[in-house]
Amino acid sequence: MSHNVAASGSRTSVLPRLATGTLIAAVAACFVAQLGVSIPATTQGYINQDLHTTSTTLTWVSDAFMVPVTVLELSFGVVGDLFGRKRLLAIGAALMALGGLLAFLTPEGHGAGLLLTGQVVSGIGAAALFPTSIAMLAAGTHTVNDRARALSIWAAALTTGGFGSPLLGGVLSKVHHSGGEYASWRWAFLAVAVIAVVSIVITLVAAENSSSPAGRSLDWPGQLAIAVALFALIYSVVQGAEDGWGSGIVIAGFVVFAVFLALFVVIERRVDKPLIQLDLFSNRMFTVSAVVTVLGMFAYLGTAYGTSIRLSAIQNYTPLRTSVGFVLLNIMGVILFPVSTKMLQKFNPGWVLAAGMGLIGIGDVWLAAIPATHLGLTAVAVPLLVVGAGFKTAVTAITVVAVNSVPTSKAGMASGATSMVRDFGLTLGPAIVAAIALTSAANAISAKVAGSPGLQQSVAAFNSSGTVPPELKGAVNSGPLGANAIPNPPNPLKDVAFHALSHGYGLAYLVCGISALLAAAIAALMLGGRAYTHAFIDVPDETVPR
């Protein structure tokens, strides 16, 4: 193991440096987890065509992964502290491998049950990988410079995973599709599984174990309460577009969310070691930064999800061509990575956060004005670049603003709570965007059919035809995306569904834009004028972001 020398007055102490194997293992684990987040982006269209999913089921392909990440991240941070981080890192990667394999084995034309199960399993694995990889790096570094270097490499792996995942899905799907396999989206998930296995090997062979069990305990009641609350909320938002907002199951879901959220608050105020220190939210600046974070992260992932649906499921781009859109969305993160830290050192972090949110909002409003009838990627290229630049600028500032809003002794708690708030906003993105767009599109299709006797006759003839396979009839009647997936002929609703979805997702882009602009205004008015004494806090090992 290599060492560095730190001088303090007349004494010189030799501090151990981070083992290279631990660094590689943590970076590989982070990369795998980020691949899992982004891999559905380019394959939504093929999944829709192959499995004949309902419109809301397609939303669950993304959120089945994100919900476990959001609700389990903090608890897995504690599990690693208690039982060892090396073991948990390997287990998390194994779950990612298993989830990818389940998705790969999803049978054609038999629904998305196995795919969704695989996404849930992968999401649980990623929930272990994100906090554990950071904690291993923090535990192995003992100076500000060493920690900054390690976390910069970790962040670079995160950016690379987000940038490379759509390309990976697009290339694999394109290659295998040209070979004659229709449901080629499966190979993208298998690739994630294979890379996860590599991560397991690296962890077991090269990583050093670490733990810090002193004073740590699991908050099982709080974990259960917040898990039920978040799932109920997302379920109601997603299913409302299909079952109706006044349906019993949707209303019951919102009630369950409210009850268990209140229960979570009660539990957290009574337990000795809460999942989240609710006292943080008594700090006005921290609460404001949390609100800005939720609004902005909802806007960003809502944009990414809407772009995925627009390109792959509405305009029927191949995964490879869809991946180009996500290169545009992510490339600014790569370009701005070397200067993001310097921006925070040179400018007030509150203003940096406001600027990032403002760019996301401008890009979204721009996208809302471009209908899907503009089939070329050039039409959306510049606004996607603007949104990507805004996200990189904002996400770099989020933790800095939150951590600097509380005393140094609470920096680790603030960082962990901010991670959960950020992921909550990201989880809301696909759910709310789908709810807005699909509700609007379904209403538009119904109104068009009701106002056109000729279209009514064509739909009736299609549904009663003995020459149209039942699975095609089911797809057309499964919702707006299903109606758009089947060409005309024989599908009489194809053109109607296309224009309804174009308008619906345009409306969703606009909502995302308004959300981001609101976040920018709040950040500028309430955070921009705040005096920051420093841009970064060196978080002690015991309070590593969970």
SS (H, E, C) 41-57: HHCHHHHHHHHCCCHHH
Q: Residues 444, 492: contact at Cβ < 8 Å?
A: no
Q: Which helix H or strand E contains 213, and what residues bound it? A: none
Instruction: Provide the residue type at 43 as one letter.
Output: T
Per DSSP (E only), the strands in 263-347 are none
Q: Distance between CA atoms of 318 and 526, rounded to whole angstroms?
A: 44
Rounded CA gap, 426 and 403, in Å?
20
pLDDT at 304: 93
What integer pLDDT is reported at residue 216 of this predicted model? 73
Pair 219, 123: CB distance under 8 Å: no
In the block, tokens 């035809």 appear at: 465
Q: What are 276's two structure tokens? A: 């989240």
Contact yes or no for 239/253 (Cβ under 8 A): yes
How many Å from the N-terminal Cα to the C-terminal Cα in the chain?
27
Q: Give the pLDDT confidence score for residue 410 in this predicted structure.
A: 67
The one-letter amino acid code at 155 reads: A
Closest CA to 433 of 523, 317, 516, 373: 516
Distance between CA atoms of residues 90 and 162, nearest Å: 21
CA-based nearest residue to 159, from 301, 311, 337, 411: 337
Residue 217 φ then ψ, to 5°: -155, 155
How many CB atoms sit inside 10 A of residue 177's CB? 18
pLDDT score at 546: 32
341 within 8 A of 469, measured Cβ to Cβ: no
522 CB-near residues (< 8 Å, 6+ apart): 288, 291, 292, 295
Q: Which amino acid is at 98?
A: L
Note if the bond before 489 is cis, omega within 30 degrees: yes
> Which is nearest to 501 in space by CA: 474, 482, 475, 473?
482
- Report the C-alpha gap between 167 and 164 in whole angstroms: 5
Give me the pLDDT at residue 533, please.
47
The pLDDT value recorded for residue 10 is 44
How confident is the model at residue 146, as a pLDDT?
75
- Which amino acid, 402? A
Go through the chain and tell me how many residues it has.
546
Residues 6+ positions from 215 with CB-CB distance below 8 Å:
273, 542
- Integer angstrom CA distances of residue 469 from 47, 215, 313, 474, 479: 19, 62, 21, 9, 17
Q: Omega before 490 cis (within 30°)?
A: yes
Measured at the CA of 290, the angle between CA 307 and CA 414, to 5 degrees, comes to 120
Per-10-residue mean pLDDT of the chain, 546 residues long, equals 43 61 92 91 83 85 92 87 91 97 86 92 95 84 74 80 83 60 75 96 92 81 93 92 90 96 94 85 88 94 94 88 90 81 81 94 97 92 96 83 72 74 90 93 92 89 79 73 82 91 96 97 83 43 32
DSSP character at residue 542: G
For 523, how many CA atoms within 13 A lie in the half-sphere containing its CB? 30
Contact between residue 65 and residue 37 where contact means Cβ atoms under 8 Å apart:
yes
Residue 379 pLDDT: 93
38, 61, 68 from 72: Cα distances, Å: 19, 18, 6
- Of 150, 137, 135, 140, nearest to 17 by C-alpha is 140
Residue (of 469, 528, 489) closest to 52 by Cα position:
469
Tokens of 34: 């980020």
Residue 386: alpha-carbon gap to chain centroid: 19
CB atoms within 10 A of CB 220: 12
Q: CA-to-CA distance for 355 and 480, rounded, in angstroms?
A: 36
Instruction: For residue 11, list its beta bridge partners.
Output: 8
Helix/strand/coil for 544: coil
Close Cβ partners of 29 (under 8 Å, ≥ 6 residues apart): 89, 92, 93, 129, 132, 133, 199, 203
CA 161 to CA 326: how far, in whole Å? 12
| Structural Rg of the chain based on CA atoms | 24
